Amino acid sequence: MSWPAAVLWVLMIAAAVSRGPGLLYLLMITGAFGSLQMLPFSGGVNLLPQSACAALFVCKALIHRGNIVRGLESALDPQRMILFSAFVGYAVFGALVLPRAFLGLFEVVPISAPISGTDILRPASGNFTQSCYIMLSYGTALTFSMIGQSALVRIHYRRALLWAAYVLVITGLVDLITYVLHIGAVLEPFRTATYSFLVDVEAEGSKRVVGLMPEASTFGTACVGLMGSLVFLRSSYEKGLEQILVLVAIALLGAMTILSTSSTGVVGLIVLVFVYGVDFLYRVFDARNARRDQLNWEFAAIFLAAFVTFTGIVLKPNLLDPVYAMVDGLIFEKTKSASYAERTMWTRIGWHAFLDTGGMGAGLGSIRVSNWAVSILGSTGLFGAMLMFGFIAQQLLTMPRRASKELAVFATALKLSLLPTLSMYLVVATIPDIGVGVASVLGLIAASHTPVSGPAFRPASVTADGRA
């Protein structure tokens, strides 16, 4: 175990035994350490800091009196978590049964075997580890569906996102500086996971920034995910210094995404801009919309940016040529790369696994693909896909039950922030697990559907004073 892992264990355990919101902040911040092994010996299994923190976070919630009952209420509530509960139950069952039922009948790209190419379907360690990951994501979503009723929890969650954004930016800057100074070895204690790393790759003559992630694509995706959350939640932050910090963080995350030269990150940025534009127009023409309070400022910022860009193009017509070249290289020329061909092969074989099993799937952890929808179908089959996609659609499309204005605005912002992340999942996600970050967002959205009357409603208490 490296010294950064030991330090994080101390911080997480201290936060877990305290009554403050420290563990919630660490849950968001540790997402920046995507290449750090937290186990002293792995045997091929990686435990990342955010996963370890999520396990402590879930345990801390459940040990408080009454929260197990509240968790069961949320898990079985048709408007909150029941579809996700059913998906996890079916997915874990399938991970145990399906690889044995279809043993040796067709080829897959293994997710955990130490080989390249394809192999016949057989039970593997990935069936167990992926089941653990999906249960951890489910536990995170369930916990937030209980505690997200609290306005104080939502305040701490927003602030934790802001802290996480700056930590992620700092890791990117450190990665860039150490590369320029040729002292990249100082980051080796943070890169101890057992999978392969692509941390010293250049594109268009410049370093691809990876931060403390295993590769640029993962770093760029994380930047866009946090950027989307801050863009749509920015009006919920306190006016003054906090909102200024949010705007600075958004700009820095955008810059880090560009420096990562991640094609997935660029796709996410395009989707983010599109979703923001549609939402902006919707708020302009909906006079009763509760999120109109910053329209004047936003319109001024958009006009200023457009004016500066137009002026720059007039004065220097080839100003945007590097941008065009980068987009062309990262997106349109991507189809000619070896990595694109390999990932396309993964997805094709994963899709055939879905077909070869008659729509039942090969089992969670049995296949590796490069498309989240195909990963769900190939792993858990049509029934599992209906449950997972149904849960996400339900959370995105349904309105909160008798929610306050603040909660309704918060839930809407979370829904919009998910769209860029889900679009990136469709491009690169290799496994069905939605991850702790997306799970926390879905759990908070589900919390807005908590009944506000009747015997089932009781304020959840992660701590006695309502703090996370």
* Segment 407-460, tens digit of pLDDT: 888 999 999 999 999 999 988 888 899 999 999 999 999 998 876 543 333 445
Residue 226: both structure tokens together: 């946090």
Domain boundaries, the chain: 3-447
Statement: residue 369 has pLDDT above 50: yes
Question: What pLDDT was estimated at residue 229?
Answer: 95
Greater confidence (307 vs 371) lies with: 371
* Segment 269-297, tens digit of pLDDT: 999 999 999 998 888 887 777 777 777 77
Q: What single-letter amino acid sits at 372?
A: W
What is d(CA 161, CA 462) in angstroms, rounded to the nearest whole number? 19
* Segment 50-100, tens digit of pLDDT: 999 999 999 999 888 888 899 999 999 998 999 999 999 999 999 999 999
Question: What pLDDT was estimated at residue 465?
Answer: 40
Statement: residue 466 has pLDDT above 60: no
Statement: residue 13 has pLDDT above 70: yes
Statement: residue 327 has pLDDT above 90: no
* Element (DSSP H or E) covering residue 370: none
Contacts of 153 (CB under 8 A, 6+ apart): 21, 24, 147, 462, 466, 467, 468
Question: In terms of residues, how long is the chain?
Answer: 468
Statement: residue 307 has pLDDT above 60: yes
How many Cβ atoms sit within 10 Å of the Cβ of residue 124?
20
What is d(CA 85, CA 193) in angstroms, rounded to the nearest whole number? 30
* Segment 51-61, tens digit of pLDDT: 999 999 999 99
Question: What pLDDT was estimated at residue 93?
Answer: 95
Q: Percentage of residues in the chain with pLDDT exceeding 90?
A: 51
Reference 436, options 34, 9, 13, 149; nearest CA is 34
Helix 49-62 × helix 3-17 angle, to 10°: 20
* Segment 375-400, tens digit of pLDDT: 999 999 999 999 999 999 999 998 87
Question: What pLDDT was estimated at residue 395?
Answer: 93
Question: What pLDDT was estimated at residue 318?
Answer: 66
What is d(CA 155, CA 314) in angstroms, rounded to the nearest whole number? 44
* Segment 180-202, tens digit of pLDDT: 888 888 999 999 888 778 777 77
Share the mean pLDDT of the chain. 86
Statement: residue 322 has pLDDT above 70: no
* Element (DSSP H or E) covering residue 438: helix 435-447
Residue 37: both structure tokens together: 């092994």
What's phi and psi for 120, nearest 5 deg?
Answer: -70, 155
Greater confidence (255 vs 43) lies with: 255
